[in-house]
Structure 1
């Protein structure tokens, strides 16, 4: 039996300086490892303990980074441990195999979106028309699949995200606020669909997942066991599910707790599988003697 671990990256496993949440005395803060550099500057971190745990997890399971980042943004991240065979980018729109996008998967996704959702151009036009330059920093499209705004959170009206979600829903789109970014994503564009594809290809028997935002909810629901941190959209909404474990910590130390929990569960599943396999071998030998 193989265990597949599908985890969101930003604010689940890795953290920007603004999201670290180091509210303990400086002398007690954990040692950090930088895993992403952008424009010559360090950008994302995890604790050194989490780095060791993640490297071991990547060696003992099918570890699949599962992110809303574009392929280009994902390639900036240097996670500890062996390079993942599979990675999911663009919220499920891109499936990387040995570091390269799978064109057949991407074509299947685009066909589904074209049949089920309003076009991206219509959504981007609405975003441009409704975003106020007083708080809008950037408007972008990702992989020609979804759109997002980068905003000044302090100036963003509380009603904007709710009103945008109400406009988007009848058009087959969903909205998520994560840090300084407001995402508008087609409803069929999901991490869980891409994880299901990887599960089918690998023959994994158990799927573990972790995430912090509303865009991770489908992934967590589809997993056999799931974890979320004590911060983020899901925490703010009090979101839960029968198979979900809530990690009470916040910030980068929550990421460490999540990696530890994933590793412990993967080890338990692997041990059980080994015991079953050993039992089957013994029974087969006994039948041969009979």
Structure 2
């Protein structure tokens, strides 16, 4: 490898899958439980993916794998990853962890950007109103940065998303609907912002900008995939349902589910040897 590499990857439905997601997407492979909550299996990872990630983390070179998720810090820390990441990104880019501790400098930068959007408490009032109206089943606030609601997909469709978006736009917030969840996020909150911060940190240490490899399945990963030198989107994902990925350096996997995750990790292994040159070309 001729230069450092940063691998930024979403987790849910990219590398790990709930039993229900496995049933829906197929691509089943021998797998192990990586997350249990209140006695219930939440997530599984294919054994070949687990082994591949562990091997990638042991590469005798500057390869940094960064889990990058919309999950809260507590939800992220429930996952039994096959390696101990130096950096992790939670709350859709709102929190950067280094060796498990919050990067306070990044938190200050994030707070300054969020101050330009409506406060999270104001948006939570809107979601609570939808709960009272029976449109949303339950509402939650994540890391005091964004909100999400649990919905019935059969009753919460494009019209509800459009109405909620109309209320969010004047507040400089946006809406993302994914199955049983609807997210309301400030415009200032993106995974790509946090990835750029980690990339700058690594570049300062190495004296060279790391090539960025990325993978994600939903439009919340869009800016991250657009930023990447090479990216991957799983077949059967939210992004794939809109057609081919709209970014020239992003590849759609041939398989879905756990098989897609295996395909992505194998591609990272192949790309790592030459990715350093790609970042500088």
- Taking structure 2 as the reference length, the TM-score comes to 0.89
Deviation at 1:154, TM superposition (A): 2.4
Corresponding position of 2:155: 155
Contact 2:28 2:257 in 1 (8 A): no
Q: 1:191-206 alignment to 2 at 5 Å? A: 191-203=191-203, 204-206=209-211
Aligned to 2:128: 128
Aligned to 2:237: 232
Aligned: 1:38 with 2:37: yes
Q: Check whether the contact 2:253–2:263 (CA below 8 A) recurs between aligned residues.
A: yes
Match of 1:245 in 2: 251
CA distance, structure 2, for counterparts of residue 157 and residue 221 of structure 1: 27
The residue aligned with 1:75 is: 77
* Distance (whole Å) between structure 1 residues aligned to residue 119 and residue 165 of structure 2: 16
Normalized per residue, the structure richer in helix is 1
Contact 1:21 1:252 in 2 (8 A): no
Match of 1:257 among 259, 263, 272: 263
Conserved 8 A contact 2:131-2:137? no
Given that residues 22 and 29 in structure 1 are in contact (C-alpha distance below 8 angstroms), is that contact kept between their aligned partners in structure 2? no
1:165 Cα deviation (Å)? 2.0
Asked whether the equivalents of residues 71 and 91 of structure 2 are also in contact (C-alpha less than 8 Å), the reply is yes
Q: Cα RMSD between the aligned structures?
A: 2.0
* Residue correspondence of structure 1 range 208-223 to structure 2 within 5 A: 208-223=213-228
Rounded to whole Å, the distance in 2 between the matches of 1:23 and 1:184 is 26
Alpha-carbon distance between aligned partners in 2 of 1:21 and 1:226, rounded to the nearest angstrom: 25
Asked if the contact 1:19/1:252 (under 8 Å) is kept, the reply is: no
Per-residue CA shift, 1:201-256, capped at 9, x if unaligned? 11242011010111100000011111111123212222421111111322222112
Q: Aligned equivalents of 2:174 and 2:237: distance in 1?
A: 17
Change (3 A) 1:169 1:236: farther
| Residues 117, 172 of structure 1: 8 Å contact kept | yes
Q: Are the aligned partners of 2:130 and 2:136 in contact in 1 as well (CA < 8 Å)?
A: no
Instruction: Tell me the matched-pair count.
Output: 267
CA distance, structure 2, for counterparts of residue 126 and residue 29 of structure 1 = 40
Per the alignment, residue 167 of structure 2 pairs with 167
Measured in 1, the distance between the counterparts of 2:32 and 2:50 equals 7
Q: Partner of 2:235: helix, strand, or coil?
A: coil
Q: Residues 157 and 269 (structure 1 numbering): CA distance in 2 closer, same or farther, change over 3 Å?
A: closer
Task: Answer yes or no: is the 8 Å Cα contact 2:147–2:185 preserved in 1.
Answer: yes
Query: Residue 128 and residue 222 in structure 1: after superposition, are their counterparts in 2 closer, same or farther (change >3 A)?
Result: same
Q: Which residue of 2 aligns with 1:57?
A: 56
Name the counterpart of 1:86: 87
Q: Following TM superposition, by how much is the alpha carbon of 1:132 offset from its aligned partner in structure 2, in angstroms?
A: 6.2
Q: Compare CA radii of gyration and give the structure with the larger one.
A: 1
Alignment match, 1:268 = 274
Match of 1:99 in 2: 100
* Secondary structure of 1:12's aligned partner: coil
Report the TM-score when normalising by structure 1: 0.86
Question: Cα offset for 1:131?
Answer: 4.2
